[in-house]
Amino acid sequence: MTITHDIFADVSGFLERIFMNIASDKIDVSSYTLDHICYRVETMAEYEEMKGFFSERWILLIEEVIGWRPIATYSLYESIVYKDRTIHTIELPSPKEWSHYPTGWEHAEFAVGEDWWRLETIYPDVDWDTRSMWKTINPELSKKYSDGLTVKFHEYPLEYIIERYER
């Protein structure tokens, strides 16, 4: 893959789909921080190329092995602005050997605060993925939508977790 396009050309469409999905489940995210968004790649070669591309433009906060593969997290010099939201962190996970994600924007994560776990009871009709509720650091609830996009809800912003636990 040679990066020949602006990856941010489609970020507004991605975020529009994210918020349409959330609205379809009637989840009120108005008081939650849109913590970060995730750009997935299909191959390790793409991961290395995107890491180089991102590193030339933004600050690498950390690259850490999580879930048996490296994940790089970047802080943007200029935030992404979408409607009334400001996003200044991007996650770039390398692919796991046993999974497949197409290259592109894949999920958004919201920092909810200490009552993040109550979302399951506040929105009982949502088909929550609860597998990550029991993580020791920043557990979460998530929802994968039929268009392939995922939304995750956890207690703390990713940058806080990086500062607190990884350094």
Task: Judge contact between 40 and 104, C-beta under 8 A.
Answer: yes
What does the pLDDT read at residue 161? Answer: 86
Q: What is the dihedral of CA 88, 1, 64, 146, to 10 degrees?
A: 70
What does the pLDDT read at residue 165? Answer: 72
Q: Write down the architecture of domain 8-23+31-166 according to CATH.
A: Roll (3.10)
Task: Judge contact between 155 and 113, C-beta under 8 A.
Answer: yes
What does the pLDDT read at residue 79? Answer: 87
Domain spans of the chain? 8-23+31-166
Residues 6+ apart with CB under 8 A from 15: 37, 82, 85, 108
What does the pLDDT read at residue 4? Answer: 46
What does the pLDDT read at residue 5? Answer: 55
Q: Residue 154, Cβ neighbours under 10 Å: how many?
A: 24
Residues 6+ apart with CB under 8 A from 6: none
Angle at 48 between CA 42 and CA 54, to 5 degrees: 100
- Give the C-alpha separation, 44 to 97, whole Å: 10
Buried b (16+ CB within 10 A) or exposed e, 64-87: eeeeeebbbbbbbeeebebeeeeb
Query: pLDDT by residue for the chain (167 residues), tens digit each?
Result: 555 457 777 899 999 999 999 999 999 999 999 999 999 999 999 999 999 999 988 999 999 888 788 999 999 988 889 999 999 999 999 998 877 778 889 999 999 999 898 999 999 999 999 999 998 888 999 999 999 999 999 999 888 888 887 65
Smallest Cα–Cα separation from 153: which of 122, 163, 75, 165?
122
* pTM for the structure as a whole: 0.89
144 beta partners: 150
Task: Judge contact between 117 and 141, C-beta under 8 A.
Answer: yes
